[in-house]
Structure 1
């Protein structure tokens, strides 16, 4: 495997590349963000491989791509589930901003994809055997029975090397019942999920069983808080535009928000249990803009679209002497922020 160029091959064997892309993108579909099995995942070209030379030239300019950009390279590839691959053209939040965010992430992951791909060949026989187990279709009864019988031995062997490596992620979607249409556009439904490892699941159990906190009661105000932060920050970014003229922006309307709680940690400080939540988000927002007319006479109406992504955190404190459910929850804090804007 070492020495081979790392890229997608039409009509060729892309199984190793697919496995590594899935690993590097967090075992999730890049569109819907949900964990997917290898057998329900495909390799997607962010910029379609069917584009003409003229269209590719336009895309290079639109997305500020380098001259070395390869349509079939890791910088243009991502794992996508079968359902999203069928319906992605109908997703309202997939515009230039979403494409920019996806291309930016793919470019960031490119060196890691290439490194993992080349390392795969260093243990050829074992690597290929493990790949075959990942490729197994567990809807087949015989394959599932064999996997359930022998996979625990592999997990145990991994734990003997390093018990942290035997950890795993579970996925759970959270339905926030109080997100009413009065609060948000009818077409907008926040997608909130927990994607937790062992310590996070333990923290969640303590919150529910010891502190008496209902998950939805804790998350609903924080998601509202995050929405307001994103709307305000996007409005400020649009109003920072001064070319070709000063810009006034309406409150940004949100059409897509995916929130993933990725870690929940807990510590005891004297008589207080402190829980720290950390997660990621990606969102698509639209705002009405008003700018001075280019001829200096009057104003012109424009529309701004923003695709944003980043990380956030908040804390929840429970005094051990307090009643169950009586938590002191902090506001959300945005830690990392990436945005791409388009004005039409």
Structure 2
């Protein structure tokens, strides 16, 4: 690989592998754990942006004029669905909070990515074999058999180097029906500690995980809707803030990223952490300053965020007596836009 680590300068497969691991083996856009074979390299500032627009974006992000758009500080791993028509695609984004956060993360990973790409070829061939294993098609029966027979020995060798690295995520989906008949598959990705917590929750405490997730998801969607409505009504229009109708969900994704537990006196407390993504639309109305005209807008919002909630169960209680705390949105990044729907005279 060339002296300078950047997209298109050498073996992009190595760069893709290093980015994939630097970002926690997740798609940076939807934040879901994703198989390496479904990962692509994405440019945060689009590589095909027109020069004038690219210059505007560089100024918005405070980047120097000679900023290299193919530098690792502008690269991240993205899954195929998010890089396609439902997700990010080739849209050009302004410096809104949800993009700024991802951009900052890419810059934080930059030095690690460069260092690992540069040392990849000095690994006595081991890195190349590991990369080949990571790219292997697990749908091939022969490949699956080889993994089952030989991968445990590799994991044992890893434990001899650093036992804290011997962990993995299991991923499954819980199908729930929310208010307004919204069908949702909640992604649950847990490590060894999280899986142990889930087993205690369901087997010892006899608390139904699906019921807990359905209740909290309904509450979370309600909070997101209210937050979107408040954010849209805070927009400063020509005649001041508009009035917003109830937001309608266009798309919603909810994932559980971790589940922990601890004893608190004579009770056991389970703490769920997760992230969400949603797009919503709402009708906005605003009168002109003299009250003679009515302006009708459509407000659109794309929001990303994180949340948590707690389930507490006393050792002597029935499952129905488990206490479930309210869902708390910990981080909130909205991207708002409005379009003119209609205009009419109210005289």
TM-score by length of 2: 0.82
Moved more, 65-74 or 235-244: 65-74
Between the aligned partners of 2:95 and 2:210, the Cα distance in structure 1 is 32
Partner deviation per Cα, 1:236-289 (whole Å, 9 max, x = no partner): 222222354322222222222221111111112222111111111122122222
Change (3 A) 1:32 1:73: same
Alpha-carbon contact 2:61-2:95 (below 8 Å) kept? no
Distance, in Å, in 2 between the alignment partners of 1:98 and 1:310 is 19
**1:226 and 2:225 aligned:** no
- Equivalent residue for 1:15, pick from 10, 13, 16: 13
- Compute the RMSD of aligned alpha carbons: 3.2
Structure 1: runs of 5+ lacking an equivalent: none
Q: Return 5+ residue gaps in structure 2 as ranges.
A: 340-347
Instruction: State the match for 1:4 in structure 2.
Output: 3
CA offsets 1:34-80 (integer angstroms, 9 cap, x no match): 4332223222345553343345456657x757345544233543333
Which position in structure 2 is the counterpart of 1:72?
70
In 2, the alpha carbon distance for the partners of 1:93 and 1:140 equals 30
Matched length: 333
Aligned to 2:211: 217
Q: Within 1, Cα distance between the matches of 2:112 and 2:156?
A: 27
Match of 2:333 among 302, 314, 338: 338
Distance 1:334 1:32, change over 3 A: closer
TM-score by length of 1: 0.83
Cα deviation for residue 204 of structure 1 reads: 0.6
Superposition deviation, residue 234 in structure 1: 1.7
Distance 1:6 1:243 in 2: 46
Q: What SS class does the counterpart of residue 8 from structure 1 fall into?
A: coil
Which structure carries more relative contact order (alpha carbon 8 Å, separation 6+)?
1
Aligned partner of 1:197 in structure 2 is: 191
Measure the CA separation in 2 of the matches of 1:319 and 1:91.
43
CA distance in 1, matches of 2:94, 2:209: 30
Shift of 1:330: 0.7
Out of 112, 117, 128, the position equivalent to 1:115 is 112
